[in-house]
Chains A and B, each alone.
Chain A
Amino acid sequence: MAQTANVRPGGIKAKHQRLVLLAVALAVLVGAALLAAWALRNQASYFYVPAEIVAKPPEPGRAVRLGGMVAQGSLKTEADGVTIAFVVEDGKARVPVRFKGIVPSLFVEGSGVVAEGHLDSGGTFQADNLLAKHDENYVPREMKDMSREQAEQVMRETK
């Protein structure tokens, strides 16, 4: 210890060390930011309404979310008792959805839903998760906007 104490660590000059450290730290952080931006473009999951997903479908398998109304009379439970199939509509288009799992308690025909999942090659939306209205105060964000802009229109057009 007594020997090393007198040696200039690494032989780097004082001012240079500070600069090198700063440069390396900045390079890593900028690299991280660039990587993050690139990954976000590829991995962010976009929100679609049925009209959009029919007109311009995302590539099969890509994670997206689909929001709309559960069509009246479309909800069916399959023989295993846990898989359901229903249709999400927005008055302009209809998209078939399959979901295996326990549905939220306020999930009923004629109410709004946001499904997280992906489109399969057959045009059916395979949902991994369903978000329904919890109660008056806690509504998925997209549905809040939808109930204002689209839901009323949806209801008018479907009547």
Chain B
Amino acid sequence: MIAELGLAALWMAAALAGLQLLAGILALTGRGASLGGIVRPVAAVQGVLALIAFLCLIAVFATTDLSVKLVAMNSHSLKPLIFKVAGTWGNHEGSMLLWVMVMSLAGGFVALVERRLPEPTMLATLAGQAFVSLGFYAFLLIASNPFDRLSPVPEEGNGLNPLLQDLGLAFHPPTLYLGYVGLSVAFSFAIGALVTRQVGPAFARAMRPWVLGAWIFLTLGITAGSYWAYYELGWGGWWFWDPVENASLMPWLAATALLHSVSVLASRDALRAWTVMLGVVAFSMSMIGTFLVRSGILTSVHAFAVDPQRGSFILALLAINIGGALTLFALRAGTVTEGERFALVSREGALVFNNVMLSAILGIVLFGTLYPLVAETMGAKVSVGPPYFNPMGALFAVPMLVILAVGPMLRWRRDSFARVGRSLVIPAMLVAAGIIAMVVVGGVGLLPTLGFALALGLGWASVLPLKGRNLRRTPLPIWGMVLAHFGIAVSLFGMSCESAFSVEKLVAVKAGDATAVGPWQIKLDAVEPMAGPNWTALEARLLVRYGDYGKVTQLDPQSRSFWAPPQQTSESALLTRWNGQLYAVLGGEADDGRWQLRLWWKPFVPLIWLGGVLIALGGLLALLGRVASDLRRIFAREKIAYRRGRMADLQRAQEGEEP
């Protein structure tokens, strides 16, 4: 019953998306001006219906209704409730429904709240949003219906991939999807502005909160995904240049560039065509990411859809949306009049430079990700990894980080390096000191050395925009910028230290034996079996001590065996100190009763993710600042309107008294 309700809601939502598109087009072309009025309410109702459909799917999963095919394929009655619910989007159909739901809700929200843009631009924006949604509704209803029934009803479900049975899963995909879909709103705004030729500061101000919001979620999603891979996969690495990771990194790079250019457009009315282009590119990257991850051309825990029909369907959607948007851009870009001018050495100049660098990195990552797919069609099986991505990315990241340190201190329109030169003496000295320190230490690679030195310099430079300001009156977006840039320095510091100073040890020890890694003394106390709700495990008890006199702490890495579906995972154990993390993995038992242990001491590694969180917090501050000033403006307008109204009333009252 609930499944049918959900399916009905989904069909109705799809129909309303069609209506929204049609009414928008008719109203815009002047064949039904009265139809324009229904577009906003239709968008809102469509969002609510999509939400209902999604809630129905959650309900079906929570109660493990095995007559629904999707539940039988992906869930199991013995799973803990939280993983039953999270399992709703731990599969292809559910994750696509989540995507559509978030997208429709966002569209509905825009329809209800955004009143600053000219009405035709809004109509075009909402029609664009409906067009994109419609494609995904069709995909769900035709090629991947989440509410399909199964007959006969099986006795038990297949279970969820154990790697995904983790709290990280509960939040990682929804976070990334919020980011992807926030970019869909930016995309629709860009389409709307192109169609009605209204590319200007008002458009940028309407688009900015969505770009900021999407960017915050993408930042958090990538940070969480990286930490998940780090502790769950048990390989000790935090970034693998896996295509799936790249799929989330590419929209982030585009969104970062967009975020900065949209700010230039909003406050300086420059970079008009460039901003629109980035709006198109950013969402295109989201869709390419989804295609790569979900179509099954990549094999990973993320690739749910192995059905080639689905892959072709997503590819067709991709071609229509991206191709259409780029064609529109090509036709209209020439008619977008030029914005304000600026000198090469200026805040705008620095932002353009970094935008180009970000785009270059984006291109590098895109090339490296797609190359194996292209090569495979020509019969060669290749994989592309860190030896390509690291140096190629750094080639553009290093100049970008240098300009990132300088840019925020430059003035708008026109400035000179001589003016800001003096405040950059200390950061430059820090960079030099960092390089010298690493050379003295010796044996550190070029990239970690540069990263370490730049992190020190950038860390200092990032707070300089606060110099000479009254901190109480400094606007929130400035604080946000400072915090986000500081976060980059923090993250970079963590990355450099991790790759320069990590110590690894792989040993086989008997219970009772001791070993050491870096400054740690480690003793294997015992290995014992234990059981969980849907798994059994071997758990090692490690007694660890930092240095010779530190406190003894216990660590329990596990080797888990799940039985539905049967699979083994290794649960690493982590011990975090202020200056790093001890990471322990339990391996197999050797013939002579020794146990394999893999141990890492990773100095300052948590800073990588702390930096990510700081960057997202910076974004949040900027978003709060923007929203607050928007609200203030609206209230101020209402207040003026109210006063005017009162004066008119008084006047009328006086006039009424006179005769």
A63 touches B (CB below 8 Å): yes
Among B299, B360, B371, the residue within 8 A (CB) of A29 is: B360
Among B352, B391, B568, B594, the residue within 8 A (CB) of A39 is: B391
What 1/0 flags go to A7-38 for Cβ under 8 Å of B?
11110101101100100110011011101110
Of all chain A residues, the one with the shortest Cβ separation from B598 is: A102
Given A32-B364, A44-B388, check contact A134 B396 (CB 8 Å): no
- Tell which of A5, A33, A63, A102 has the most Cβ of chain B within 10 Å: A102
Of all chain A residues, the one with the shortest Cβ separation from B510 is: A81
Find out whether the CB atom of B371 lies under 8 angstroms from the CB atom of A135: no
Q: How far is the CB of B536 from chain A (nearest CB, A)?
A: 13
Please list 18 pairs of residues, one from A and one from B, whose beta carbons are closer than 8 Å in the complex, sorted by A's number: A4-B414, A5-B413, A9-B346, A29-B356, A31-B360, A35-B392, A36-B392, A40-B384, A44-B371, A45-B384, A45-B385, A63-B385, A81-B508, A81-B590, A82-B587, A101-B598, A102-B585, A105-B588
Chain B residues near A12: list those with CB within 8 A. Answer: 341, 343
Interface-lining segment among A88-96, A119-127, A138-146, A151-159: A138-146
A35 to B588, CA, bound (A): 43
Q: Enumerate the 9 nearest inter-chain pairs by beta-carbon distance, A residue then B residue, closest first.
A: A81-B508, A102-B587, A47-B381, A105-B568, A9-B343, A10-B343, A43-B388, A32-B360, A44-B382
Of all chain A residues, the one with the shortest Cβ separation from B158 is: A137
Of all chain B residues, the one with the shortest Cβ separation from A25 is: B356
A35 to B341, CA, bound (A): 31
A to B contact number (C-beta, < 8 Å): 132
Chain A residues near B658: list those with CB within 8 A. Answer: none
B residues contacting A by CB (< 8 A) are 161, 234, 298-301, 338, 341-344, 346, 352, 356-357, 359-360, 363-364, 367-368, 371-372, 375, 380-385, 387-388, 391-392, 395-396, 413-414, 506-508, 559, 565-568, 570, 585, 587-588, 590-592, 594, 596, 598
Of all chain A residues, the one with the shortest Cβ separation from B346 is: A9
A32 to B568, CA, bound (A): 42
Chain B residues near A63: list those with CB within 8 A. Answer: 385, 387
Q: How far is the CB of A22 from chain B (nearest CB, A)?
A: 9
Chain A residues near B388: list those with CB within 8 A. Answer: 39-40, 43-44
Q: How far is the CB of B292 from chain A (nearest CB, A)?
A: 13
A15 to B299, CA, bound (A): 49
Given A9-B343, A14-B338, A29-B359, check contact A46 B508 (CB 8 Å): no
Chain A residues near B590: list those with CB within 8 A. Answer: 77, 81
Find out whether the CB atom of B380 lies under 8 angstroms from the CB atom of A10: no
Of all chain B residues, the one with the shortest Cβ separation from A33 is: B363
A44 to B382, CA, bound (A): 6
Find out whether the CB atom of B507 lies under 8 angstroms from the CB atom of A82: yes
Find out whether the CB atom of A9 lies under 8 angstroms from the CB atom of B413: yes
Find out whether the CB atom of A103 lies under 8 angstroms from the CB atom of B588: yes
Of all chain A residues, the one with the shortest Cβ separation from B371 is: A40
Among A4, A28, A141, the residue within 8 A (CB) of B299 is: A141
A136 touches B (CB below 8 Å): yes
A80 touches B (CB below 8 Å): yes
A43 to B383, CA, bound (A): 9
Find out whether the CB atom of B368 lies under 8 angstroms from the CB atom of A36: yes
Chain B residues near A37: list those with CB within 8 A. Answer: 367
Q: How far is the CB of A70 from chain B (nearest CB, A)?
A: 15
Q: How far is the CB of B180 from chain A (nearest CB, A)?
A: 24
Find out whether the CB atom of A36 lies under 8 angstroms from the CB atom of B391: no
Q: How far is the CB of A129 from chain B (nearest CB, A)?
A: 8
Given A36-B363, A36-B368, A80-B508, check contact A46 B381 (CB 8 Å): yes
Find out whether the CB atom of B356 lies under 8 angstroms from the CB atom of A28: yes
Given A17-B341, A29-B359, check contact A135 B591 (CB 8 Å): no
Of all chain B residues, the one with the shortest Cβ separation from A15 is: B338
Find out whether the CB atom of A9 lies under 8 angstroms from the CB atom of B414: yes
Chain B residues near A140: list those with CB within 8 A. Answer: 299
A39 to B368, CA, bound (A): 9
A35 to B396, CA, bound (A): 11
A140 to B387, CA, bound (A): 21
Chain A residues near B396: list those with CB within 8 A. Answer: 32
Find out whether the CB atom of A18 lies under 8 angstroms from the CB atom of B342: no
Among B161, B392, B559, B594, the residue within 8 A (CB) of A81 is: B594
Q: How far is the CB of A73 from chain B (nearest CB, A)?
A: 15
Among B343, B375, B585, the residue within 8 A (CB) of A44 is: B375
A136 to B564, CA, bound (A): 12
A65 touches B (CB below 8 Å): yes
